[in-house]
A and B are shown apart, each in its own frame.
Chain A
Amino acid sequence: MSAPRDPKVTLIVGRALPIAGDDVDTDRIMPARFLKSVSFDGLEAHVFTDDRIAARASGGMHPFDDPRYAGASVLVAGRNFGCGSSREHAPQGLARWGIVAIIGVSFAEIFFSNATALGVACMSVTAADAAELARLVERAPDAAVTVDLVAESVRAGERQWAARMPASAREALVSGSWDATAMLTSDMDAIRATAARLPYIRGF
């Protein structure tokens, strides 16, 4: 068990790895057979498993197997990353592998919620900027990439790009309140009052 991390997510500095293509679905990130478990333990070993096997079979190497990207903490993605199944096992696997920020063109909504709920920052950049960042990372896998949630920017070397995130998710991460349970349970009376005015709970 690691020491509890500071819940405030403001600045992430680390090396990055690129995942090519748009519409990367959560079945690819974490195939369903690895959901047959009652815990999230060990999911880091199975991230993109079938893509990695396919890459090896065709004589290539998937970024998650490439030693140049070992220890990366920022994932660079395309459009609609994390679409499909709501399985939190996908961002859990990425987070347990060591990913703490994802820079993409856009994110599927449920994936975005799930990642935010784990304190993983998903920031959007333009398609051209994402492509430039991916090229930079491929050329220089050792480059330090800085993801700045406060300044809403991504920096690498001499380059800087504007990066966006919905205001409330950004606030949840920056203020360290992304684990919503405490916030949601802090006023149970207000919850009971809302329930009490609903016709289907009152019995019509």
Chain B
Amino acid sequence: MGSTLLKKIWDLHTVRRLPTGQTQLFIGLHLVHEVTSPQAYDMLRLHGHRVAFPDRTWATVDHIVPTDSPRRPFRDEMAEQMAATLERNCREFGVPLFDVSSADQGIVHVIGPELGLTQPGMTIACGDSHTSTHGAFGSIAFGIGTSQVRDVLASQCLAMESLNVRRIDVSGSLGRGVYAKDVVLAIIGRLGVNGGVGFAYEYGGAAVDRMDMEERMTLCNMSIEGGARVGYVNPDETTIEYLRGRTFAPTANAFDRASQWWRSMASDSDASYDDRVVVDGSTLAPMVTWGTNPGQVVSVGEMVPSPDEAGPGGRQAIEDALAYMGLEAGRPVAGTKIDVAFIGSCTNGRLSDLRAAADVVKGRRAASHVRALVVPGSRRVRRAAEAEGLHEVFREAGFEWREAGCSMCLAMNADRLTGRELCASSSNRNFKGRQGSPTGRTLLMSPAMVAAAAVAGEVVDVRTLLPKLEGV
């Protein structure tokens, strides 16, 4: 019987079994940002610890960056204090920092991969739940809290429980206008927001094999929204070609040796899994959330569900969500009027996401009542998009073109909803109050669907707006 990638990586990185029965697991890459690290550095100082492996640790600033003008000092005094604290901590402990003066600054889950820091076969940790993103490369990547950030800084290790593996095969091929975001929303809708607790999700099958790395990152990014702390895709030629030439990727002969090792870390064809799920990718349509968690989702042609459709105990959850969202059961989700359109985040703030959105808005304009903004996931994404003229496409369509950061995904900066505004968002969470207004409302969808909603002023099937294919 063969092994899964999870087991191969787990065994290789096991330092020892701890007296508690947990595994002491070595972490090959530790990514740090300004929100969840200051208290961890303070705890190190308090106990006289150093950073054990500063050469395996990198930091950036993303959550609090003002995306209209990211120059220091920030106008927001608290944001400035957080940036200055990260700067001081990184200097004191010898951790390299991509701050706002760096051409490589951006959302931690965007820059790790694009710099080639994220590689197959690694264990990765970061004080952020969307660390699962890095699993797209065939790494095992854990979101952790601040006490565990302290543990990794002090020891480069985590005390971990073992995980089961659920293989999720996405068969067939995705239709035009259907993206990785729709796949993962459909998976969460089917398995539930807690279906992945205790599991790592291994995504595979024909549709995943065909995805590029940015799509795989979107898929793995939202594993945590389905309850799975870890999600991954086995490394293949697509992974290897993405990494070739990246800043921190191995070079020359070392790259060839690395490629060989990376391939060997993929799950064996006869690996056994704790659970298996098959999703038919060819039947999927663009998805839209209607409620207050990512599992409350329908395809764009469907109706907002009624509390009567709920199983035992589910009725109250649907009633609460509909009351908060101000949506009516039994009505089509399409046609829901929006106030704000947000394209960006660690889920969908990469170049291919901006291209997909630009394809929709090209030659059109955002509806007059819609505030629309595009926030690239990193400085590199921003430059690459500008080199293609995407910023002009967006600006001509009435969208704001911003600097890199987490922006309106979680509103720890100036970008936020006000009052009961309803936002079509390419981000990852539609929780109550998530986008900065305690009564603000979020509909999650793909960047192309957000672009379509911005243009129409309401939720609309993006497939009706896509340019005609030649010869069709």
Q: Are B35 and A35 interface neighbours, CB within 8 A?
A: yes
Tell yes or no: B461 within 8 A of A by CB.
no
Chain A residues 4-42 with CB under 8 Å of chain B are: 21-23, 25, 27-28, 31-33, 35-40
Partner of A39, one of B42, B64, B154: B42
Q: How far is the CB of B18 from chain A (nearest CB, A)?
A: 6
Q: Are B193 and A200 interface neighbours, CB within 8 A?
A: no
Tell yes or no: A164 within 8 A of B by CB.
no
Interface size on B, residues (CB 8 A): 84
Tell yes or no: B53 within 8 A of A by CB.
yes
**B367-394, CB under 8 A of A: which get 1 and which 0?**
0000000000000000000000000000
Q: Which residues of A contact B (CB under 8 A)?
A: 21-23, 25, 27-28, 31-33, 35-40, 50-51, 53-54, 79-80, 83-88, 91-92, 106-110, 113-114, 117-118, 127, 166-169, 171-172, 175, 177, 179-181, 183-185, 187-188, 190-191, 194-195, 197-201, 203-204
A36-B64, A84-B429 known; A195-B24 Cβ under 8 A: no
Q: Are A203 and B129 interface neighbours, CB within 8 A?
A: no
A36-B79, A38-B85 known; A166-B161 Cβ under 8 A: yes
The 3 closest A-B CB pairs, nearest first, are A88-B145, A114-B145, A117-B147
A31-B438, A181-B47, A181-B49 known; A175-B20 Cβ under 8 A: yes
Q: Are B127 and A171 interface neighbours, CB within 8 A?
A: no
A23-B293, A80-B227, A108-B227 known; A35-B429 Cβ under 8 A: no
Partner of A198, one of B12, B49, B78, B148: B12
**B398-442, CB under 8 A of A: which get 1 and which 0?**
000000000000111000000000000000010111101011000
Q: Are A32 and B436 interface neighbours, CB within 8 A?
A: yes
Q: Are B261 and A204 interface neighbours, CB within 8 A?
A: yes
Partner of B197, one of A80, A92, A197, A198: A80
Tell yes or no: B271 within 8 A of A by CB.
no
**B243-277, CB under 8 A of A: which get 1 and which 0?**
00000001000110110010000000000000000
Residues in chain B near residue A198, CB distance under 8 A: 12-13, 26, 28
Q: How far is the CB of B48 from chain A (nearest CB, A)?
A: 11
24 A–B pairs (Cβ distance < 8 Å), ordered by A = A21-B320, A23-B193, A23-B317, A32-B436, A33-B411, A33-B436, A36-B412, A53-B438, A80-B193, A84-B431, A86-B129, A106-B194, A117-B148, A118-B147, A180-B147, A180-B159, A187-B16, A190-B16, A191-B24, A191-B26, A200-B28, A201-B56, A203-B250, A203-B254
Partner of B434, one of A27, A87, A91, A194: A27
Partner of A194, one of B15, B38, B432: B15
Residues in chain A near residue B429, CB distance under 8 A: 25, 27, 84-85
Residues in chain A near residue B438, CB distance under 8 A: 31, 50, 53-54
Tell yes or no: B238 within 8 A of A by CB.
no
Q: Are A200 and B121 interface neighbours, CB within 8 A?
A: yes
Q: Are B157 and A191 interface neighbours, CB within 8 A?
A: yes
Q: Please name the residue on chain A nearest to B295 by beta carbon.
A: A23
Chain B residues 126-172 with CB under 8 Å of chain A are: 127-129, 131, 143-148, 150-151, 154-159, 161
Q: How far is the CB of A115 from chain B (nearest CB, A)?
A: 9
Q: How far is the CB of B10 from chain A (nearest CB, A)?
A: 12
A195-B53, A200-B122 known; A23-B28 Cβ under 8 A: no
Q: Which residues of B contact A (CB under 8 A)?
A: 12-16, 18-22, 24, 26, 28, 35-36, 38-39, 42-43, 47, 49, 52-53, 56, 63-64, 78-79, 81-82, 85, 119, 121-122, 127-129, 131, 143-148, 150-151, 154-159, 161, 193-194, 197-198, 224-225, 227, 229, 250, 254-255, 257-258, 261, 293, 295, 313, 316-317, 320, 410-412, 429, 431-434, 436, 438-439
A28-B431, A36-B79 given; 20 more Cβ-contact pairs under 8 Å? A25-B429, A32-B410, A54-B439, A80-B194, A86-B144, A86-B145, A88-B36, A88-B146, A110-B144, A114-B147, A117-B145, A127-B313, A172-B159, A181-B43, A185-B52, A185-B155, A190-B16, A191-B15, A197-B12, A200-B28
Q: Are A35 and B313 interface neighbours, CB within 8 A?
A: no
Q: Are A83 and B227 interface neighbours, CB within 8 A?
A: yes
Residues in chain B near residue A54, CB distance under 8 A: 438-439
Q: How far is the CB of B203 from chain A (nearest CB, A)?
A: 18
Q: Are B36 and A195 interface neighbours, CB within 8 A?
A: no
